[in-house]
Amino acid sequence: MYKNNPFFHYARRLKKSTIINVRNNSRLQALSDIHKTNDLYPSLTTLKQKYNIKEGVNLFNINEVNVIKKELDNHEDTFWVMGKIMNKRDAGKKAYFYRLQQDNLEIDFVAHWTRLANMNLFKDIQEFHEHFNSLKVGDHIMIHVYKSVNKRGTVIIRPVDSPCILVPRLKDTIDVSQHKDLSQLSSRTNKVLISLSTKEHLKHRQVIDPIIIRSKLYRVIRSFLDQKNFLEVETPLLNLKSGGANANPFVTTQGKESTKTDGSLQLRIAPELWLKKLIIAGYDRIYELGKNFRNEGVDNTHNPEFSSLEIYQKYNDLEDMIVLGETLLKEIFLTFKDITDESLYNNFIVKNNGKFKRVDCIDQLSKDLNVEVNELIQILEHSFKHNDNSQILNLLSKCNKTYPGNISLQKLMTSLIDDLEKKYCSANEPIILINHPSIISPLAKHDLTNTRAFRYELFINGVEYMNAYEEQNDPFLQREALVQQQSMKDNPDEIMSMDDKYCETMKFGLGPTGGLGVGIDRLMMLLCKEHSIDSILSFGNIENVKKQ
């Protein structure tokens, strides 16, 4: 019984419940009657053959035209253009104005009864209104047009035929101009449909499009590293062990028919160990832009699925990595100067000449705890060697700082460094913490006392954006550090897994190497001036995604 319905051939591809909705959609029926077609989702191939269209016209070509008005109003010089209607308004009783978008470019499309009446396209003005009033914001259309110019001298396009609907919009978009808090709206609704379907409202509110910014950011990063002769690589997302960082992994299962071993696999937490294996294999300058997964909670700066940049360069020490981080961030800020926070830009680029301010972890701890640096180093050296936090707790108690007596040494040192971050890295400028306690940096090389790790973390306004090491390349010390991590773990899932295969691979010789990791999503938040990570992700955070 469906076959007599003009929308059956489209609807039969959908679920039965959807078929009922499509068949009874009043707008589809009205469009079918007005435009005298049963196919409101036509094939472009069929349309181009029907109208003998050789190629579409990019709106960029229209906007760049530079001819006098007389040449613009040439009805004979016509062409076909396709696009999405982003805005529509009536202009009196005889005209309609539309904003048409294609490839992120827009142009005004004006339909005026007086001009079209002379072309005998419509039998009367009522039919003219029926055709052009039937078009809605969100519709995709194809239209036969010529170039013209409005009273302000702006190039526009005018039709010489009735528009052809390519795809009608059947669901109402949300008028975000009526909502003061976009972040709350996006958490309840399909974010990408809000931001893209109502771009006209967003544009008036000067909201930055994170999808476009991310694409441009990736191009900037790749261009920067390509010019320095880095090689972009890909490493596995799935393995028996996640490795590379302290975090709880996602565990999945491989089908029994496709494996002879245990089917349990983990999504990678970080690509670090894979990338260092490539350094060992002889690739001296490499980087990877990709996804990582950590089975943790969601907050304003964390999402279980996230993007990162990891860079490794042989024969580079920590100072080289600081310079690399400075020049990369400077390049990004210069490229995105128009949207970068003005105060942040001036503090980093102008006042500091593109250099990071530095806070030494051990030196600053000695000042805060009112103890000489050498004495603190001796205490840390003893504590790390014997996995004993009693001397540190005693030192803290003298400063009226109390911690549980059963706290692990690693968690205690992490807490102390967290305090430094909050106290000294909250300014609106790039600040790095350097020379972390070695006990919380198992993948970094250490000084001769085995207390300071050659590592830095970059913070802006208290948020971490970069993490860099002079990489540990002694396979025996590396294994010792990983074993020590295992012995101190409070939560087994949040400690880096013991990777004997990596330690064995290191025996082939990991040349002196510097490594730098960059949190892409947080960098996006910084550029887009967003305070929540879900605002810069195409479909929001994992909680948003699960609802779509």
**Which pLDDT tens digit goes with each residue over 310-329?**
999 999 999 999 999 999 99
pLDDT in tens, 59-99: 655 555 444 444 566 677 888 999 999 999 987 789 999 99
* Mean pLDDT, the chain, integer: 84
Q: What is the pLDDT of residue 19?
A: 39
Structural domain that includes position 140:
42-167
Q: Is residue 25 part of a domain?
A: no
The answer on 458 and 314 residing in a single domain is yes
**Of 167, 194, 229, which closes a domain?**
167
Q: What pLDDT digit, counting tens, does each position of 224-259 carry?
A: 999 999 999 999 998 877 665 667 888 888 876 655
Which of the pair, 177 or 485, is modelled with greater confidence?
Answer: 485
The pTM of the full predicted model, rounded to 2 decimals, is: 0.82
Q: pLDDT band at residue 487, thresholds of 50, 70 and 90?
A: confident
The domain total for the chain is 2
Residues 422 and 513 in one domain: yes
Chosen domain end from 167, 199, 225? 167
Looking at per-residue pLDDT, the higher value among 253 and 55 belongs to: 253
Whether residues 216 and 162 fall in one domain: no
- Residue 108 in this model has a pLDDT that exceeds 80: yes
HEC letters along 257-318: HHCCCCCEEEECCCCHHHHHHHHHCCCCEEEEEEEEECCCCCECCECCEEEEEEEEEECCCH
Tell me which DSSP letter residue 400 carries: T
Whether 11 is covered by a domain: the verdict is: no
The single-letter DSSP state of residue 172 is P
Q: What is the pLDDT of residue 119?
A: 83
| Residue among 48, 45, 29, 26 nearest 37 (CA) | 29
Q: Which residue has the tokens 């078009």?
A: 135
Mean pLDDT in residue range 369-389:
93
Q: Do 431 and 323 lie in a common domain? A: yes
Residues 328 and 261 in one domain: yes
Asked if residue 446 and residue 321 are part of one domain, the reply reads yes
Distances from the Cα of 260 to the Cαs of 263, 264, 267, 292, 435, in angstroms? 8, 11, 19, 26, 45
Say what the pLDDT of residue 490 is.
58
Q: Is residue 12 part of a domain?
A: no
Residue 31 to residue 40: CA distance in whole angstroms: 8
Structure tokens at 485: 């991590």
In a domain, 10, yes or no: no
257 shares its domain with 342: yes
Mean pLDDT value of segment 251-280: 83
Cβ–Cβ contacts within 10 Å for residue 201, how many? 21
325 and 384 share one domain:
yes
Residue 436 predicted with pLDDT over 70 = yes
Same-domain pairing of 262 and 395: yes
Write the CA distances from 42 to 10, 24, 128, 134, 450, integer angstroms.
10, 19, 22, 17, 70
Say which residues have a Cβ less than 8 Å from residue 490's Cβ, sequence separation at least 6. Answer: 408, 411
381 found inside a domain: yes
Lookup result for tokens 């800020």: 333
Residue 434 sits in a domain whose CATH number is 3.30.930.10
How confident is residue 497, by pLDDT bands cut at 50, 70 and 90?
low
Provide Rg for the chain, Cα atoms.
Answer: 31
End-to-end CA distance of the chain: 33
**Judgement on whether residues 146 and 281 belong to the same structural domain of the protein:** no
423 pLDDT more than 50? yes
Q: Is residue 333 part of a domain?
A: yes
How much is the pLDDT for 350?
Answer: 96
Higher pLDDT, 297 or 529: 529
Q: How many residues are given for the chain? A: 548
Residue at 450 is within a domain: yes
Q: What is the CATH number of the domain that holds 128?
A: 2.40.50.140
pLDDT digits (tens, 9 = 90+) for 329-361: 999 999 999 999 999 999 999 999 999 999 999
Shared domain check, 299 and 216: yes
- The tokens describing 79, both together, are 């062409």
- Give the confidence band of 277 by pLDDT, cuts at 50, 70, 90: very high
Residue 5: inside a domain: no
The model's pLDDT over 140-196, given as tens digits with 9 standing for 90+, comes to 999 999 988 888 888 899 999 999 999 999 887 655 555 555 555 544 445 455 544
State what percent of residues in the chain have pLDDT above 70.
81
